[in-house]
Structure 1
């Protein structure tokens, strides 16, 4: 164990959070997928749990690999990712697999797995924005040199994602605005980006292929009493799970609502956590994400380079905003969306992209630790002389 710990760098608290969330994920997914496995006539271990555990282990391995790579390399990688991402988003809208009137998935050749291109787009846009904001600091107020390229990248990615996945697009847009604020973009220019995003939002909401879905979800959230039971089915059973969990929960594997909720292992995994582990379990999970945000903010404040600070800030904001959006939906504070709980919800490629984000944050943290060690050594030399 000591040998493994010696080879891992970066914030130890973040490593602990990764391990704890991964263990929680395996426990909850095992419980919440048992009904689905029974319906398919296959043991849960063979059908879903084994696959999920494999992805969790691969994810941890990717975190380890990503954290070993110097985070400065991700500046160059971000350019390649953006070149790949925008055509891939367009391809997904035209040729992607259509589920619930939304083309979000593309199939990976040879291996047959599908992935949401928005997961790649989040990683690409955040790393690209961190790079652009760092490189343009000297002329950050210049509209032609800095503002237009930055605004263009944000708006193009936003509208391409929003066309099929509004919730993810809105969260990514919010993270982008936070990065622009940290990157010293003027308030006037930020307001222009917000105005542009609002216009694009209206365009997609009223003219996009999912406009009826968006309208229905908002109406269901605002006026649930006017809707039929089919439209409020998921949120109703999520609330039942929350109410029946009590303080200490029903215990691992004893959930009843997993038999009714369509996606208890992904979209409503937080409801399953509270039903089986109670309010205490829910508070623990919430606290883990809050500690993650706190540790990442410490990394941001101590990072010696602007790129590292912006990179850690953007990725940590993205992960925590996504986490609390998922939990908000489960407790009825927001309309139903398909946003997973990072590192907890069952998922294949989405889990891997989340793992890469954690690995990059740890890479920045590793650099912070190394710089702190150098300062300590340098500071000791005069005293020893």
Structure 2
């Protein structure tokens, strides 16, 4: 239900938030939703064990690595990053498919190489170079696109899968504490790392510029106009919004139907509707986590935790960039932002979740007077 509602809202909002070619963007998003739903239906009915095995997973990673290389060296950059392969009618972002591929890869790998509680180390296979080379190569390519948003999301997905695979509590608590501390002091870290001369230089690299604008968007309003107009849009919307299609900030906000669609959503639909969308996302994420908790196989459990982390981090990074909690990264909001690659990947994740949920054995409570059934349960 949340998946269907969010997808329908996405189609409407892509049309409403588009500055030009609204009909074309509407049709494209509708096609993406149809393809995504077909993908979810396909993964819902397929045998997920087909995706297990080192050879098939490595082949998938090879295809993605080749696509990343093509995007990096054969296609022009978009907003300073080489993350897209533009074929005219369609645009493919390989980094989106990498996230799901790595979830499948490490869910399979870590379920076959469980944590050894006695030795507090994993079996020797986990440190073999052959097991880590292709995922590492793909992740390095994403970092050097540069695609910092997707790189951060991918690293967090891998961290959660690693923690969920049975790592000791001490290591888990240490890693979580370090990441929490790093997030809390992120602006201070940026000020320490980025030289002071960069703050008054308008010609610096776009990634550095985004970090500087995140620290103090009011220092250079012209360079921070995307973030500031996002603030204006949210403030203008208030609690109930100005009405669908009545946005005043949309003409001044770049990427209004993709990266910053939630700013337009907040302006047109209001804060209450925005909270409702976040509640729907939370319901979807929690249900996937519960599926993972109830899963009888470690492979399914790790897969569910990875997909839930993907949806959570996509939501957090996108909305964090819109409201200024995080630097702007170009990450889209799940199911609502325009774009096909992200929608198809997350729809596939929903299909896999439904597949695992459908095949979980539900315990049937025997009647207290049915002695035979109660003995069979025992």
Structure 1 residues 269, 107: closer, same or farther in 2, change over 3 A? Answer: closer
Q: Is the aligned partner of 1:17 residue 2:17?
A: no
TM-score, length-scaled by structure 2: 0.82
Partner residue in 1 for 2:186: none
Contact 1:181 1:190 (C-alpha < 8 Å) held by counterparts = no
TM-score, length-scaled by structure 1: 0.81
Q: Pairwise mapping of residues 348-367 of structure 1 onto structure 2 (< 5 A)?
A: 348-367=340-359
How far the C-alpha of 1:376 sits from its partner, in A, is 6.1
Contact 1:271 1:330 (C-alpha < 8 Å) held by counterparts = yes
Contact 1:322 1:341 (C-alpha < 8 Å) held by counterparts = yes
Partner residue in 2 for 1:329: 321
Q: Is the aligned partner of 1:255 residue 2:247?
A: yes
Q: Which residue, out of 287, 298, 304, partners 2:296? A: 304
Contact 2:234 2:267 (C-alpha < 8 Å) held by counterparts = yes
Q: Is the aligned partner of 1:84 residue 2:63?
A: yes
Q: Which residue, out of 220, 235, 240, partners 2:213? A: 220
Partner residue in 2 for 1:52: 29
Provide the C-alpha distance between the structure 2 equivalents of 1:93 and 1:381, rounded to a whole number of angstroms.
67
Q: Which residue, out of 90, 94, 115, partners 1:117? A: 94
Deviations 1:123-169 (A, max 9, x none): 11111010000111276824641134565455433221111201110
Contact 2:214 2:326 (C-alpha < 8 Å) held by counterparts = yes
Partner residue in 2 for 1:70: 47
Provide the C-alpha distance between the structure 1 equivalents of 2:89 and 2:262, rounded to a whole number of angstroms.
29
- SS of match in other structure, 1:225: coil
Determine which structure has the larger helix proportion and give its number: 1
Provide the C-alpha distance between the structure 1 equivalents of 2:323 and 2:172, rounded to a whole number of angstroms.
36
Deviations 1:227-259 (A, max 9, x none): 1x3311111111011001111111111111112
Paired positions, count: 345
State the Cα RMSD in Å.
Answer: 3.1
Q: Is the aligned partner of 1:170 residue 2:163?
A: no
How far the C-alpha of 1:112 sits from its partner, in A, is 5.0
Deviates most, 183-192 or 292-301:
183-192
Deviations 1:163-221 (A, max 9, x none): 120111011101101111111235669989x99xx9xxx9xx99xxx982221111111
- SS of match in other structure, 1:247: coil
Q: Which residue, out of 4, 16, 41, partners 1:31? A: 16
How far the C-alpha of 1:275 sits from its partner, in A, is 0.7
Q: Pairwise mapping of residues 74-153 of structure 1 onto structure 2 (< 5 A)?
A: 74-76=51-53, 77-107=56-86, 112-137=89-114, 141-142=121-122, 144-149=124-129, 152=133
Deviations 1:66-111 (A, max 9, x none): 1111222222453431232233323332223322232111246xx8
Deviates most, 155-164 or 170-179:
155-164
